[in-house]
A = this chain, B = another copy of it.
Amino acid sequence: MQNIKLTIEYDGSDYHGWQYQDNALSVQEVLAGAIKKLTGEDVIPDGSGRTDAGVHAYGQTASFRTASKIPVGNFTPALNSFLPEGISIIDSEAVNDDFHAQFSAKGKHYRYVILNRPQRSALLAKRAWHVRQVLDFGAMQEAAGFFMGFHSFKAFCASGHSVKTFERTIFKSAWSREGDLLIFDIEGDGFLYNMVRIMVGTMVDIGKGRFGPEIIEGAIESGRRNDIGVTAPPFGLYLMKVYY
């Protein structure tokens, strides 16, 4: 058996998220269908984690085992020939037998893109969150700094999902600006459900002057979801890279 790691780019607007569901088409299901066509095997590829409907990926990863003798480098073009254009395999490599896309992951890089101008953008309609109001970029940058380091992010976790621990370490948390685009890059050893989107929604509320940046510090301490802002929409979020 070969253990194969795939790196996958997808346009999240075409699918109901990564994870297999009974009543809606997911990236995982479409990918499993392409693997079946290529190898003849019924296999569910294990992703590095879920992405919600609308969330995009430049660097989602998945792993699966196969008895197929196809050389590993051929998986990229061969799977792409069976995949719709909204899902692309970027890389395929053979990995050790104990590698697992989720459990072996050491960290992730997410990006969130905001279009901050009065007029909406046709070409970014499903690729960025359109915020019309002028935002206080300095306050948002200051807020982003509070996420750095080892903290409990319970206040930044949507309810309804059981997790063992709310502690995560954030290595990078910073905004940059390119014209009308405000871009938030965050890297950490793990992320809770909706964590990046709640962080961004809260920072946009801070940018609007609804809260001061110090609310982040308070919410980290209190652990109360109610102390902070809205959840940013999914279509501005990109899973950029999974670190191993």
Contacts and interface: CB of A to CB of B under 8 A. Distances in A.
Contacts of A77: 118-119
Nearest to A88: B122
What number of copies of this chain does the assembly contain? 2
A1 interface: no
A16 to B, nearest CB: 16
Interface residues of A, number: 24
Given A11-B125, A125-B11, A119 B89 contact: yes
A90 B122 CA distance: 9
Contact of A58 (B87, B123, B125): B123
A88 B10 contact: no
A157 to B, nearest CB: 28
A86 B11 contact: no
A185 interface: no
Nearest to A57: B122
A10 B87 contact: no
Contacts of A189: none
Nearest to A86: B122
A121 B118 CA distance: 30
Most buried by B among A10, A11, A123: A123
A19 interface: no
A126 B126 CA distance: 14
A76 to B, nearest CB: 6
Contacts of A91: 119
B119 A85 contact: no
A120 interface: yes
The 6 closest A-B pairs by CB, nearest first: A85-B125, A88-B122, A9-B122, A10-B122, A88-B120, A11-B122
Given A10-B123, A76-B118, 17 more contacts: A9-B121, A9-B123, A10-B122, A11-B123, A56-B123, A58-B123, A77-B118, A77-B119, A85-B120, A86-B125, A88-B119, A88-B120, A88-B121, A88-B122, A89-B119, A91-B119, A123-B127
